[in-house]
Structure 1
Amino acid sequence: DMCEQLLTAEQSTYHNTLLALRGFCCLHAQNHHGALQDFQRVIEHESPHPSSCIKALCGRGLIRISGGSNYLTALDYITACQLKLDETIFTIKSYVPWNQRGLLLKVLQEEGQMMLQKKRYPGGSSVSFQKKQTGLCTFLTLKSRDAPGVFQLASLLVELDSSDEASRILCADALYQMGRGEEAQEMLSLALSRNPQRAPVLARLALLQLKRGFVYDGNQLLRRLIRIGDSSCLLPVLDIFQDEDRELLQSHCRWRALAILKGKQEAAAIKEAIAHLSFAILAAGGYAEDCLLTRARCYGRLGQMKTAIFDFNAVLKEDPRNVQALSGRGFVHLALRQQKEAVQDLISALKVEAGAVIPAILSLKPEAQGLVTGWLLQHGRATLSELMATKEVPGEETLRDLLTVAKALTKTCRTAQHHIFYTDVLMANGEHQEALKHLQEAFGRCPAEDFARARLAVLQLQSRNVAGAAAPLSALARRDEKDLAFLLNFVDTKHQQHLAQAAAQEGKVLMKGHDHQQALGYHSLAVLASRASPRYLRHRAACLMHLKKYEKALKDMEKVIQGHGCNSPKTQAGDHCCQGFLLLALAREEAAVQHYMQALQLDEPLALGTITECPGRESLTKTFHKIAQDNFEKQRYEEAWKITDYGLKIDKSSELQKLKARLKREASSCSIH
């Protein structure tokens, strides 16, 4: 009321002062609209009174906090400080209530920090701020967002609360951006003396020391920061640092990490190197390829494999063809025994630059090196076998990848299987001359290794040398039928037919000479080259019987019998007799009896002749009697009668005749016939 009376008086003395006082009265009475009108009239006056303007700016700043315009609040207080700092301090202490002063100081701290970090876009302002560009409004737009303005604001905050560390740090940051580094260092050193473990202070001091060329002091401060373990404090600091200073910090921390890694390889030293590399990455804005790669390797040494993969992924996100990241991640998957992922990464790296990956593989320990090459060979073999089995024309890219892997294997580990694989890939790619050249370079012109001799034979088949190819291929058949089956994919159908015939003929000759072991290889070659022809399966089964490998012979005869269809009864009867004999040898008598009965049913004279030769009529009749007796005891009279009847066809055994009589008596009430 008093202000109203004075303002309505005829004399206009102290008009602005009265408006400012009335504005604060309205503000304390929660009349923000009236307060804002009074403050605006003072600020927009053509001949502003500095003391009144300071009060008006402070009052308007408080109103803007309640409206959520914290940035504009900071601008008002910066302008007030630039007019007269002491007057601004007095106004805050005199007119701002205690319950609002704490919030005001916090808002000014945060906004000042964001101004220095360039996180505020200066375009936004209130309508009243834009309405007129006269008087004090023009001054408000000048330098209020620069470091000097923030320095004024920070100085105000320090005066209001000299014990507040955040205000001192804000003041030091503003001094740094103003180029007054020594003053900033003095202020930070004072803050550090009060709290030696304050990470934000240590980070700023470390940079200032490095900037001045005091490397030792900078290192000591960084080590103290590492021991505290709060690297997050660097993020706001780096937003304040100038570009050249961030680069300085990045290069120094990278250099320091590499120096540490060249020395001791203990866990503590590696962890310190990781901390320096983390500082360097932060200084680079979150991405520094060489530092990320080095840090990933350090994490790998400490056994933190998932963290290492995270760093490698960060590099690959920016550069998917980065060889070091691909191979490094592959080695981490190797350590985790993740075969699929390791192979995928290493093949990708080999495709980009094999010359860089091969030395990295060779640098591994022998055990790890063997595992890597083994996985690559296994993957390559599986892929090539699948390509050959489908009979489709292999894609150029797939073959190119296989060639890359195969060539790398021959350079990382010069074992026979790697040279064999490289030869196979060359053959699959149609490079027969190149395959022959490599084979002879690796194994000589007359290889002693069966796998190499077999490849040489296949390559010679291209020149129609079938006879010369059979011997080495039969040797491979004795050692590894799967590899021979794979190798025959490179031989055309016509050559395979000729090869089967030649192998079968040689197998017969060897069997006549009782060299069944050698004959087995030729018969196996004939079977594979003929795509499991029944005729050649019978020959191999006979050879296996001589070698007493009855299980394998039985499998061959099962395939033969499954293929019965257009064969004559005589042929089928012979096969069943052979199957029966094998089952007898394996003590599977009941199944053997069934096959002999089928043989008798198909061609009785042939069956009886075969039985007479082996196993003999008397011996087989005893088996029939045993099986028939078992069925009789289990009251399976019809089956017992059938077996007895066929057994009597083989030999008129008295035991079988007695059993038949008992069957008649026991089953007199049943119709057996």
Structure 2
Amino acid sequence: LSQYSPSIARILDALGVYQLASLLMELDPSDEASRILCADALYQMGWVEEAHKLLSLALSRNPQRSPILARLALLQLKKGFMYDGNQLLKKVIKIGDTSCLLPIMDIFKDEDRKLMQTHCRSRALSILKNKREDADIKEAIAYLSFAIIASGGYAEDCLLIRAQCYGHLGQKKTAIFDFNAVLKEDPGNVHALSGRGLIYLALKQQKEAVQDLILALKAEAGMVIPAVLSLKHEAQELVAQWLLQHSRTVLAELVATKDFSKEERTLRDLLVIAGALIKLRKEAQYHTFYTDVLIANGRYEEALVHLQEAFGHSFADEIASARLAVLQLKKRNVAAAAHSFSILAKKDERELEFLLNFVDAKQQQHLCQVAAQEGNVLIKGYHYKKALGYFTLAILTSKDNPRYLRQRAACFMHLKKYDKALKDMEKVIEKHGCNSLRTRVQDHCSKGHLLLSVSEEEAAVKQYIEALQLDESTALCSITNGSGSENVAKTFHKIAQCNFEMQHYEEAWKITDYGLKIDQNNPNLKKLKTRLKREASGCSIH
């Protein structure tokens, strides 16, 4: 008997099993396993009442035996006694041994298993409809588990409902297990993808959540959007932010190639996601992204209409106005586009750089020319802040042309934004290979002047020395017209004095010597040179 398994019941003749079980019961009337085996054989032969009586007798002796309760429950359901059957099932749930159903399902007939599945599913839905306490949800989970077992291990709707119940109870990994079971059989199941995506959201697993939600949106956005909108405000916002972040990255990579024809499917997918985002959130960034996707798809008129509907006709928003500029370029309105781009440039240079990917090389060339001209006019009128935007546009559309970098650095300097001016001059000096000697000297002097403005005196001295080494006369002229010879010479003396005190005599001598070239009559430099000769007479420093 210990070797008995449901497979034997299917192979041996039910009557033979019954006779064997009856014999075992005679040998040991207290043997419960023999009694259950006998009842199963009676059921197989269609003697339901006899099986019921045998199980009832066994239950009277041991009221807490789950295998007996579960068999009796199914027999009661089969006889149409739904209330009695359900009460027995509730006892099994209370005991907590749902595994007892597994061997029973191999014994009972398909129609009875279907009856058990339908009843348990219906009972679970009834509980969830009327009660939402944790205890009720746990009871519903037990009924759903019965239904899943009765189905043979896979009941899609029950698995999906049970996964949602586990999620509600905070058992997120168990919920994912159920969603995975559905997706294993049906990889495109929208409910499972959406549900699992929202569980990943709760677990803060961004990559997995975005992947599932995008697949679900592509399959059936109309089902996913209400599910997201049913979440708390913070969760809705996080979903939208993650989707936007991912989609913007994809679009940025796509437009950087400027070959949209090869990525039609990706663009279609992005359009679905962008359309969902503007239904989920009302903020400007989602509407501008939707516009970007429309532009990338070549749907310019739709993009214009959407901009007007989302932002009105005034386009006070700089980012939205820049989208309008892209559309204006399609109609060859370069001046208006340059103006809009220049405004965005002062607020968000990276955003402008992204948008320029929508503009072809010829249009960028025209933009560069217009921006440079307007920037020069503004500089002459001392409108440095306005000129900044135009020179930024010129820089981006010319791929960091040093001429425009110098002009923007000059604007920053006048506005006392020395750190930003320095960054531009560093880029200029990196591109010195194609510039004249005079230009290079002036650039080093300009950088030196900026370094003095931020009190980077040692670095400034190095720039001035490099300029003097390239062309002394041009460097001296630039120093005089810039920071002034006297001021620069004082800095040279200060740095040389520091080197002298640290006994870096050769470096002190070099700095002093170049300082005297800038200001031959500087008394402090002269004294220091004399001290260097005296203190370091044993060293070779000149």
**TM over 0.5: same fold?**
yes
Q: Partners in 1 of 2:104 and 2:434 — Cα distance?
A: 89
Aligned to 1:658: 527
- The residue type equivalent to 2:299 in the other structure is E
User: Distance between the aligned counterparts of 2:392 and 2:257, measured in 1?
Assistant: 23
- Measured after TM superposition, the shift of residue 390 of structure 1 is 4.2
User: Which residue, 635, 638, 645 being the options, matches 2:503?
Assistant: 635
1:3-14 superposed matches below 5 A: none
What letter matches 2:32 in structure 1? E
Residue of structure 2 aligned with 1:545, choices 384, 395, 413: 413
Unaligned regions of 5+ residues in structure 1, if any? 1-104, 121-144
- 1:273 offset after TM fit, Å? 0.5
| Mapping 1:31-430, distance limit 5 Å | 106=2, 110=4, 114-116=7-9, 118=10, 120=11, 145-391=12-258, 393=260, 394-430=262-298
Counterpart amino acid of 1:365?
A: K
* Structure 1 position 432, deviation (Å): 2.5
Output the amino acid matched with 1:648.
Answer: L
Q: CA deviation at 1:416?
A: 1.2
Partners of 2:96 and 2:502 in 1: how far apart?
Answer: 84
Are residues 1:595 and 2:463 paired? yes
AA at the equivalent of 2:31? D
Q: Displacement of 1:151 after TM fit? A: 2.2
Residue 207 of structure 1 deviates from its aligned partner by 0.9
Q: How does 1:604-643 map to 2 (within 5 A)?
A: 604-643=472-511
Structure 2 counterpart SS, 1:163: coil
What amino acid maps onto 1:665 in structure 2? Answer: R
Structure 2 distance, partners of 1:114, 1:247, is 20
Structure 1 Cα separation of the partners of residues 525 and 152 of structure 2: 98
Instruction: Encode CA deviations 1:124-165: one digit per residue, 9 max, x unaligned.
Output: xxxxxxxxxxxxxxxxxxxxx432332222222222221111
Partner of 2:309: 441
Corresponding residue of 1:67: none
CA distance in structure 1 between the partners assigned to 2:237 and 2:28 by the alignment: 68
Q: Distance in 2 between matches of 1:170 and 1:288?
A: 28
CA distance in 1 between counterparts of 2:208 and 2:121 reads 30
Structure 1 residue 587, shift from structure 2 partner: 0.8
Tell me the CA shift for residue 240 of structure 1.
Answer: 1.6
For 2:55, the aligned partner's letter is: L
1:495 counterpart residue number: 363
Most deviating of 554-563 and 616-625: 616-625
In the aligned structure 2, how far is the partner of 1:371 from the partner of 1:106?
56
Residue 436 of structure 1: how far off its partner (Å): 2.4
CA distance in 2, matches of 1:537, 1:501: 14
SS of the residue 1:565 aligns to: helix
Alpha-carbon distance between aligned partners in 2 of 1:420 and 1:207, rounded to the nearest angstrom: 60
Matches of 1:215 and 1:569 in 2, distance apart?
99
SS where residue 395 of structure 1 aligns? helix
Once the two structures are superposed, residues 400-449 of structure 1 have per-residue CA deviations (whole angstroms, 9 ceiling, x without a partner) of: 22122111111211221111111112222333333223222322333211
Secondary structure of the 2:416 match is coil
For structure 2, which runs of at least 5 residues remain unmatched after alignment? none
Q: Which residue of 2 aligns with 1:529?
A: 397
Q: Distance in 2 between matches of 1:566 and 1:344?
A: 48
* 1:203 CA drift (Å): 0.4
Q: What's the CA shift for 1:275? A: 0.5
Q: Would you say the 8 A contact 2:412–2:421 is kept in 1?
A: yes
Shift of 1:556: 0.4
Q: Which moved more, 1:496-505 or 1:561-570?
A: 496-505
Q: In 2, Cα distance between the equivalents of 1:636 and 1:235?
A: 88
Aligned-partner SS, 2:282: coil
Residue identity in the other structure for 1:454:
A
Distance 1:239 1:618 in 2: 101
Aligned to 1:52: none
After superposition, what is the alpha-carbon deviation per residue over 1:582-632, rounded to whole angstroms, capped at 9, x for unaligned? 100111101101111222333334333332233222211111111111222
**1:648 and 2:516 correspond:** yes
Q: Confirm whether residue 576 of structure 1 aligns to residue 431 of structure 2.
A: no
Please tell me the residue identity of whatever aligns with 1:219: N
Amino acid at match of 2:198: F
Amino acid corresponding to residue 229 of structure 2 in structure 1: L
Residues 263-308 of structure 1: per-residue CA shift (max 9 Å, x gap): 2222111111110000000100000000000000111111111111
Question: Matches of 2:294 and 2:352 in 1, distance apart?
Answer: 17
Q: Give the counterpart letter for 1:335 in structure 2.
A: A
Q: Give, as a single letter, the amino acid of the residue that structure 2 aligns with 1:468.
A: A
Secondary structure of the residue aligned to 1:337 is coil
Give the ranges of 4+ consecutive aligned residues of structure 1 lying more than 4 Å apart after TM superposition: 390-394
- The match for 1:466 is 334
**Structure 1 position 501, deviation (Å):** 2.1
Instruction: Pick closer, same or farther for the CA change 1:162–1:361 going to 2, 3 Å.
Output: same
Partner residue of 2:300?
432
Amino acid at match of 1:519: A
Letter in structure 2 aligned against 1:503: A
Q: Give the Cα separation in 1 of the matches to 2:538 and 2:22.
A: 123
Deviation at 1:546, TM superposition (A): 1.1
- C-alpha separation between the residues in 2 aligned to 1:556 and 1:670? 41
Structure 2 contact 258–358 (Cα < 8 Å) conserved: no
Q: Cα deviations across residues 633-673 of structure 1 (Å, max 9, x unaligned)?
A: 22332322222222122222111112222222233344433
Aligned to 2:537: 668
Per-residue Cα deviation, 1:501-545 (whole angstroms, up to 9, x for no partner):
212222222233333222211221111111111000001100111
Letter in 2 for 1:517: K
In 2, Cα distance between equivalents of 1:160 and 1:489? 89
2:450 aligned partner, one-letter code: L
Count the aligned residue pairs: 540
- What TM-score do the two structures reach when normalised by structure 1? 0.78
The corresponding residue for 1:30 is none
C-alpha deviation, 1:392, in angstroms: 5.0
- 616-625 or 268-277, which deviates more: 616-625
- Work out the CA distance in 2 between the residues paired with 1:242 and 1:600: 100
Comparing 531-540 and 158-167, the one that deviates more: 158-167
Deviation at 1:181, TM superposition (A): 1.5
Q: Distance in 2 between the 1:172 and 1:613 partners?
A: 110
Instruction: Name the aligned partner's letter for residue 268 of structure 2.
Output: R
Listed one character per residue, the Cα deviations across residues 224-281 of structure 1 (whole Å, up to 9, x for unaligned) are: 0011111111111111211111111000000000111112222111111110000000
Give the letter aligned to residue 369 of structure 1: Q
- Look up the equivalent residue of 1:317 and give its one-letter code: K
Q: Relative contact order, CA 8 A, sep 6+: which one is greater?
A: 2
Cα deviations across residues 340-388 of structure 1 (Å, max 9, x unaligned)?
Answer: 0000000111111111111111111111110001000000011111223
Question: Alignment partner of 2:154: what SS?
Answer: coil
| Contact 2:120/2:146 (<8 A) preserved | yes
> Which sits farther off after the overlay, 657-666 or 374-383?
657-666
CA-to-aligned-CA distance 1:159-190 (integer Å, 9 cap, x gap)? 22211111111221222222222221111111
Is contact 2:485–2:518 with CA below 8 Å preserved after alignment?
yes
- In structure 1, distance between residues paired with 2:7 and 2:386: 88
